[in-house]
Amino acid sequence: QKEVEQNSGPLSVPEGAIASLNCTYSDRGSQSFFWYRQYSGKSPELIMSIYSNGDKEDGRFTAQLNKASQYVSLLIRDSQPSDSATYLCAVRNQKVTFGIGTKLQVIP
């Protein structure tokens, strides 16, 4: 079992829709959870961090954490073509482990 699992996609959504990105992790002791965005040919950049169960909202982005189900998600409301990128889920226990990333395509 991979430590951090994501569907590699691509996930295609129309402009203005909600994009839902999902991630599961294997280590129940994990304490910190992150979403990074990586544009093609660029470096990852942090967009959200979440540490406790529930939702955390920042603008059009909402991160959701359910530690009992070992599940983290990222919702992007009112998706824009500029949101088209690969979204990396990262989980920290003793070190930060990244998922393979989900490629999101927002269709104008």
Residue 84, strand partner residues: none
Return d(Cα 12, Cα 55) in angstroms, integer.
Answer: 24
Residue number with CB closer to another protein (42 or 77): 42
Work out whether 56 is an interface residue with another protein (CB under 8 A): no
Work out whether 1 is an interface residue with another protein (CB under 8 A): no
- Kindly tell me which residue out of 49, 56, 67, 71 binds another protein, with binding defined by CB under 8 A: 49
Contacts (Cβ under 8 Å, ≥6 apart) of 71: 22, 23, 24, 64, 65
- Identity of the amino acid at 60: R
Contact 65, 53 (CB under 8 A): yes
- Kindly tell me which residue out of 29, 52, 54, 95 binds another protein, with binding defined by CB under 8 A: 95
Residues lying near another protein in the complex (CB under 8 A) are found at 32, 34, 36, 38, 42-46, 49, 86, 88, 90, 92, 94-98, 100-101
